Amino acid sequence: MPISESTREQMREIAGRYPSARSALLPMLHLAQSEEDEITTDGINACAEVLDITPAEVTAVATFYTMYKRTKVGKHHIGVCTNTLCGLLGGDAVWDALTEATGAGHNTASADGEFFLERIECQAACSNAPVMTVDWEYMDDVTPSSAVEVIEKLRRGEEVHSTRGPVIRDFEATEHTLAFPDDGLADAPSVDAKMLAGLTIAKERGMTGGNAQ
Ligand code: FES
C-alpha cells in the first residue's frame, strides 16, 4: 500500500529537524512502520524520495537494525529478554510460556495477528530481570504466569499497564512515538530505587569515579 501523503508530509517535517536531512532516516523508518506495520518497499521508496537518497541506501539501514521488521508485526510486539541475567532468572521459561500461549515463534506473528514474538537482547533493565516488553514498554520481574496473564488481558481488550506506569497502546502507536518523541509520553517515570541502588550507595559512601574501592 502506498505511503499516504500525510505520512510523507510528516517525513518531511522530521527531515527538517536535522542539519543533514539524511540523519532523519531512523525516525522516518519508524514512521513508515507506524503506518504499514512493517518496512515495505513503498516505505523504503518514500524515505528515499524525501531524503533524495537511493532505495538501496535506505534498505541498508532498514535491514541492519532489528527494530525494523520486514514482515507484519500485528497488533502487539512482545519482546522477551533471554540474555544472561534474564535467562538465568527465568527468561527462557517466560519465552516458552508465551510461545505456547500465542502459537508464535521468534520473529513471527500469531495466526490471529495479535502478537509478534521476539527474543530480544539485554534491555538495560537487568535489576528487574526477567524482563519482557509489550510494544517496547517494560514489564519488569515477570514470571511465566504473569506474562501469559498480560497476553490474555490484551486478547480480551482489557487495559494493561507497564509495570512502570504507561498504558499499553499498540505497536503502531509506539512506532509513531519513536518518530515523534515529543508527544509528552517521555515524561513518564522510567527509573526506580532498584535501578538507582548502586548510585545511591556510591553517594552515601562519597565514592567518585576515581576512588571506587
Ligand atoms: S539481561 Fe535482560 S535486561 Fe539485561
CATH architecture, domain defined by 76-171: 3-Layer(aba) Sandwich (3.40)
125 CA closest ligand 1 atom index:
3
Q: Provide the strand spans (E) within the chain.
A: 76-81, 108-109, 115-120, 132-134, 137-139
Task: Name the packing angle between helices 55-62 and 41-51 (round to 10°).
Answer: 120
Say what the pLDDT of residue 189 is.
63
Q: 81 CB less than 6 Å from ligand 1?
A: yes
Q: CATH assignment of 5-62? A: 1.10.10
Q: 127 CB less than 6 Å from ligand 1?
A: no
Say what the pLDDT of residue 53 is.
97
Residue identified by cell 510460556 is 97
Q: 91 C-alpha to center of ligand 1: Å? A: 9
* Domain coordinates in residue numbering, the chain: 5-62, 76-171
- The cell for 213 is 574501592
Q: Give average pLDDT by consecutive 10-residue segment, the chain, 213 residues.
A: 91 95 96 96 97 97 96 96 96 98 96 97 94 96 98 97 93 95 71 82 85 50
